[in-house]
């Protein structure tokens, strides 16, 4: 068999199974990644199981989302993460050091390795030829502790990039073109593998933009070869020893192929409120804009910001536009200062933000009510910006800069001699300084480290084993493409409670249905009904944890996004798919659903239930591995891990 890059990495990391189609496999995990929003749960798992050693090395906790610490809740979370990291041998990246995905590409990602990250945009590290997969925190915890990562052998979609980008067209436009072709669910079940002679012209930061947005198609990951471009980047990062060549075999086999001629692309824009609503900038019309943000894990490299600065140089930001810029890492910020780029940005009227996620996740720079924002980030779901009724457009840094000058969405080629941007490239030497990372070797006596837990950090809730009979009420019926932001929104006012589950749960579906929490508490045992692609977007496992805490036992949908479905298993919620999609229309709010003999039905993978108030039978399918079924029956992954650990200890005795 002629192997592609994806299959080569999976094959070299197999712990169970084979790379044959539809096989249930387990692969070894080399590295794990956490953010401050997902890391508290991971730290609690470490505290609960008290591992002597972490199997995945490095395992890194990045404080990069809620960095401003506008309340004690946030600063307490940061202190907790640092002390747990020091106690159990994880790495800790301090606030201001950079955005996790961008920083990980710079300092830790390795070609040929496997990483799990408790954030959906973990595939960014695929820019270096790493198989990097976003997952729920409990799944990442299992990988960190040596349990491996269980997955069905993925299909591989080859995106063959040919030609060369024209001046004024960027890697973001490639990512948006892929979104236009595949939509937000066209990549489900696939890993996107990028090949073709055009990739030789793309730098690692450009590749990172593309792999970052692979997840927006529903794909499991995105990956580039590890070639001489990769080697040059790692050498500039003083990490050439981490390089290996990793290319697909000649005539490697793929499940599907898409050809994109980069030379034919124009500046593109994703319109509100989905990243696949893509059109040419020239076709979007005269859209007046109030704020522009350049940054996020998608577009915050030196060359991204330097190109925007060159367009802005000697000009002034439109008087009615608020322009903010957030470099992807402290390293990039130093480069911008050393090269004089920061002066040009400030002189134009741009505001410089901390090296953090910030506006991308609704933490700061929220648009006014019904405002219009242009951003270089990767998502524009309703409320993602921190303002539920704002309209957010996604563009490249060049288009963002042009828009900031004119006050309306503008093709950069219309106002600037775009050929002047061709000399803006990534530097050959980066200012390497890891002093804002606390490494395990920096801690002389880890077992004596006191773990400091603030009052806002509550115990991780658990549910008992799966009941053999479920009787529950339909508490919510939703449509297609419900995102994790719809389930539990972002924004600093809400996210400061992320470690306080009872308080955080009060915001569940707060924008979608403000009455849900009160109704769920009254009903106690409930069911949610969804349409296609339920749970797309962020890996935020609280979108499963909080419904579980509020008594949700079952989610029935037409289809699920991969990570959210995984999270539902991890928290003991039964994720069922309508066997007949027309049955979706038969279910209404407040119907009462009963499932009997559930253990046997779970084993079979086919579940029959009844709406007892209507005497209507509904059939559903449970698409689950044997492992998923074990986790579900245990009442979730925390129980499963504890039971497994207790069995292991007893067996050794």
Closest by CA position to 494, among listed 361, 382, 600, 612: 361
Residue ranges of the alpha helices (H) in 160-259? 171-182, 204-212, 228-236
CA dist 399 and 374 (Å) reads 9
**Buried-exposed string 604-621: b where 16+ CB fall within 10 A, e elsewhere:** eeebebebeeeeeebebe
* Highest mean pLDDT of the ranges 67-71, 317-321, 454-458: 317-321
Q: Are 96 and 42 part of one and the same domain?
A: yes
CB 300 within 8 A of CB 326: yes
Classify residue 455: in a domain, yes or no.
no
Residue 443 lies in a domain: no
Is residue 485, in this structure, part of any structural domain at all? yes
Q: Burial of 269 by CB count in 10 Å (0-12 exposed, 13-18 middle, 19+ buried)?
A: buried
Asked whether residue 563 falls in the same domain as residue 540, the answer is yes
Question: What does the angle CA 16 – CA 572 – CA 15 come to, to the nearest 5 degrees?
Answer: 10
Same domain, 283 and 181: no
Nearest CA among 423, 380, 126 for reference residue 270:
380
Q: In whole angstroms, what is the distance from residue 190 CA to residue 366 CA?
A: 34
Tell whether 161 and 258 lie within a shared domain. Answer: yes
In three-state secondary structure terms, 459 is coil
pLDDT tens, residue by residue, 37-88: 888 888 988 887 788 889 999 999 999 998 888 888 889 999 999 999 999 9
DSSP class of residue 283? G
Three-state DSSP class for residue 324: strand
Q: Roughly what angle, to the nearest 10 degrees, separates helices 302-312 and 204-212? A: 100
Q: What is the pLDDT of residues 141-183, one digit of tens each?
A: 889 988 899 999 999 999 999 999 999 999 999 999 999 999 9
- Whether 267 and 413 have beta carbons less than 8 Å apart is answered as yes
Residue 645 pLDDT > 70 = no
Mean pLDDT of 619-638: 91
Return the CATH number at 494.
3.20.19.10
What's the rounded mean pLDDT across residues 426-447? 93
230 or 417: which leads in pLDDT: 230
91 membership: H or E segment, kind and range: strand 91-93
3-state class (DSSP) for residue 385: coil
Give 527's strand partners. Answer: 474, 554
Q: Across all residues in the chain, what is the average pLDDT?
A: 93
Cα separations (Å) of 305 from 133, 277, 293, 340, 492?
A: 27, 25, 11, 12, 25
Q: Where are the alpha helices (DSSP H) in 339-446?
A: 341-348, 397-406
49 plus 144 within the same structural domain? yes
Residue 423 lies in a domain: no
Q: Count the Cβ atoms, other than its own, within 10 Å of residue 6.
A: 28
Lowest mean pLDDT among 238-247, 306-315, 536-545, 575-584: 536-545
306 & 409 share domain: yes
Strand partners, 470: 595
Backbone angles phi, psi at 609, to 5 degrees: -140, 170
pLDDT tens-digit readout, 559-592: 999 889 999 999 999 999 999 999 999 999 999 9
Q: Do the Cβ atoms of 406 and 311 come closer than 8 Å?
A: no
Look at strands 437-438 and 470-477 and give their pairing. Answer: unpaired
* pLDDT per position as a tens digit, 498-512: 889 999 999 999 989
| Residue 196 shares a structural domain with residue 329 | no
CA angle centred on 581, ends 575 and 584, rounded to 5°: 75
The sign one gets for the Cα dihedral 269, 271, 272, 276 is negative
* Residue 116 φ/ψ, nearest 5 degrees: -110, 135
pLDDT at 305 over 80: yes
Which 3-state string (H, E, C) describes 535-547?
CECCCCCHHHHHH
Beta bridge partners of 14: 27
CB atoms closer than 10 angstroms to residue 312: 26
pLDDT, tens only, 251-298? 999 999 999 999 999 999 999 999 999 999 999 999 999 999 999 999
Q: What pLDDT is stored for residue 212 in this prediction?
A: 97
Give CA separation, 43 vs 80, 132, 139, 441, 515, in Å.
8, 21, 13, 19, 32
| Sign of the dihedral through C-alpha 311, 314, 318, 321 | positive
pLDDT of residue 644: 67
> Which letter does DSSP use for residue 631 in this model?
H
| Closest to 33 (Cα-Cα) out of 156, 129, 120 | 120
Q: Given this model, what pLDDT does residue 142 score?
A: 86
pLDDT at residue 369 above 50?
Answer: yes
Final residue in a domain of this structure, among 232, 264, 296: 264
Domain boundary among 201, 234, 264: 264
Give the range among 134-138, 167-171, 309-313, 410-414 with minimum mean pLDDT. Answer: 134-138
Can you tell me the distance from the alpha carbon of 349 to that of 122, in angstroms, rounded to the nearest whole number?
A: 33
Helix 302-312 × helix 341-348 angle, to 10°: 50
Query: Which whole number is the average pLDDT over 435-442?
Result: 96
pLDDT category at 459 given cuts 50, 70, 90 is confident
Crossing angle of helices 330-338 and 100-107, rounded to 10°: 80
State which residues form the domain around 289: 275-413
- Judge if 248 and 294 occupy the same domain: no
Q: Nearest Cα to 345, choosing from 290, 304, 385, 396?
A: 304
Name the domain count of the chain: 3
| 3-class state of residue 450 by DSSP | coil
- For residue 636, give both structure tokens: 């979730």
CATH number at residue 57: 3.30.499.10
Domain-located, residue 164: yes
CA angle 558, 136, 108 (to 5 degrees): 135
- Distance, in Å, from the CA atom of 488 to the CA atom of 486, rounded to the nearest integer, reads 6
- Residue 650 pLDDT > 70: no
Confidence of residue 420 (pLDDT cuts 50, 70, 90): confident
Residue 647 has pLDDT above 70, yes or no: no
Q: Do 223 and 329 share a domain, yes or no?
A: no
Residue 452 lies in a domain: no
Average pLDDT over residues 439-451: 94
Does residue 465 sit within a domain? no
Give the model's pLDDT for residue 496. Answer: 83
Distance CA 568, CA 644 (A): 20
pTM for this entry: 0.91
- Give residue 646's pLDDT: 52
Lowest mean pLDDT among 362-371, 407-416, 588-597: 362-371
- Tell me what pLDDT residue 648 has: 44
Question: What pLDDT, on the 0 to 100 scale, is given for residue 599?
Answer: 94
Residue 201 placed within a domain: yes
216 in Cβ contact with 124 (< 8 Å): no
C-alpha 39/C-alpha 73 separation (Å) is 14
Domain end (from 244, 264, 284): 264
If asked whether residues 312 and 260 sit together in one domain, one would say no
Q: Are residues 531 and 615 in the same domain?
A: yes
**Whether 295 and 230 share a structural domain:** no
Q: Using the Cα atoms of residue 495, residue 501, residue 504 and residue 510 in order, give the sign of their dihedral.
A: positive
User: Vertex 62, ends 179 and 393: CA angle to 5°?
Assistant: 30
Give CA–CA dist 40/55, Å, rounded.
Answer: 19
Percent of the chain scoring above 90 in pLDDT: 79
């Amino acid at each position: 068999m002629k192997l592609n890059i994806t299959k080569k990495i999976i094959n070299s990391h197999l712990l169970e199974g084979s790379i044959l189609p539809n096989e249930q496999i387990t692969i070894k995990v080399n590295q794990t990644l956490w953010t401050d929003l997902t890391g508290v749960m991971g730290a609690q798992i470490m505290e609960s199981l008290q591992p002597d050693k972490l199997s995945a090395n490095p395992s890194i906790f990045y404080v990069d989302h809620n960095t401003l610490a506008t309340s004690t809740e946030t600063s307490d979370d940061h202190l907790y993460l640092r002390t747990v990291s020091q106690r159990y041998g994880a790495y800790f990246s301090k606030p201001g050091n950079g955005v996790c995905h961008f920083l990980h590409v710079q300092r830790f990602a390795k070609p040929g390795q496997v990483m799990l990250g408790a954030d959906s945009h973990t595939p960014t590290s695929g820019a270096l030829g790493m198989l990097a997969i976003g997952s729920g925190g409990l799944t990442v915890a299992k990988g960190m502790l040596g349990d491996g990562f269980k997955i069905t052998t993925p299909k591989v979609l080859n995106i063959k990039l040919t030609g060369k980008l024209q001046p004024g067209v960027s890697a973001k436009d490639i990512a948006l073109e892929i979104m236009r072709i595949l939509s937000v669910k066209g990549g489900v079940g696939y890993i996107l593998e990028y090949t073709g002679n055009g990739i030789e012209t793309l730098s690692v930061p450009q590749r990172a933009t593309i792999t970052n947005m692979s997840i927006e198609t529903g794909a499991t990951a995105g990956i580039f070869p590890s070639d001489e471009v990769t080697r040059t980047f790692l050498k500039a990062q003083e990490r050439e020893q981490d390089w290996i060549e990793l290319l697909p075999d000649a005539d490697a086999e793929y499940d599907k192929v898409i050809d994109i001629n980069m030379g034919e692309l124009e500046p593109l824009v994703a319109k509100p409120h989905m990243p696949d609503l893509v059109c040419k900038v020239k076709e979007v019309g005269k859209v007046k804009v109030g704020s522009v943000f350049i940054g996020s894990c998608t577009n915050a490299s030196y060359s991204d910001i330097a190109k925007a600065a060159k367009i802005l140089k000697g000009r002034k930001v439109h008087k009615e536009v608020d322009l903010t810029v957030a470099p992807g890492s402290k390293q990039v910020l130093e480069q911008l200062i050393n090269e004089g780029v920061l002066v040009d940005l400030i002189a134009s009227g741009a505001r410089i933000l901390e090296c953090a996620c910030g506006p991308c996740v609704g933490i700061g720079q929220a648009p006014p009510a019904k405002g219009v924002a242009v951003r270089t980030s990767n998502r524009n779901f309703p409320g993602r910006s921190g303002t539920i009724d704002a309209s957010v457009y996604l563009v490249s840094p060049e288009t963002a800069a042009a828009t900031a000058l004119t006050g309306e969405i503008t093709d950069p080629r219309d106002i600037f001699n775009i050929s002047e941007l061709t000399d803006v490239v990534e530097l050959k030497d980066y200012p390497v300084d890891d002093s804002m990372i606390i490494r395990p070797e920096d801690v002389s006596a880890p077992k004596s480290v006191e773990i400091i837990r603030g009052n806002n950090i509550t115990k991780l809730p658990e549910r008992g084993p799966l009941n053999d009979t479920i009787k529950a009420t339909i508490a919510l019926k939703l449509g297609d493409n419900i995102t994790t932001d719809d389930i539990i929104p972002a924004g600093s006012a809400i996210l400061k409670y992320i470690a306080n589950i009872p308080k955080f749960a009060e915001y569940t579906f707060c924008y979608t249905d403000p009455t849900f929490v009160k109704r769920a508490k009254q009903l106690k045992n409930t069911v949610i009904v969804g349409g296609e692609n339920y749970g797309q977007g962020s890996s935020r496992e609280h979108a499963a944890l909080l419904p579980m805490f509020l008594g949700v036992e079952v989610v029935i949908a037409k289809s699920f996004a991969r990570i959210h479905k995984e999270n539902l298993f991890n928290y003991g919620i039964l994720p069922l798919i309508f066997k007949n999609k027309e049955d979706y229309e038969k279910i209404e709010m407040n119907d009462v659903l009963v499932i009997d003999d559930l253990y046997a039905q779970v084993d079979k993978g086919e579940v029959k239930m009844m709406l007892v108030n209507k005497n209507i039978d509904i059939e559903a399918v449970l698409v689950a591995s044997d492992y998923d079924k074990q986790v579900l029956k245990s009442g979730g992954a925390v129980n499963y891990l504890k039971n497994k650990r207790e069995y292991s200890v007893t067996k050794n005795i």
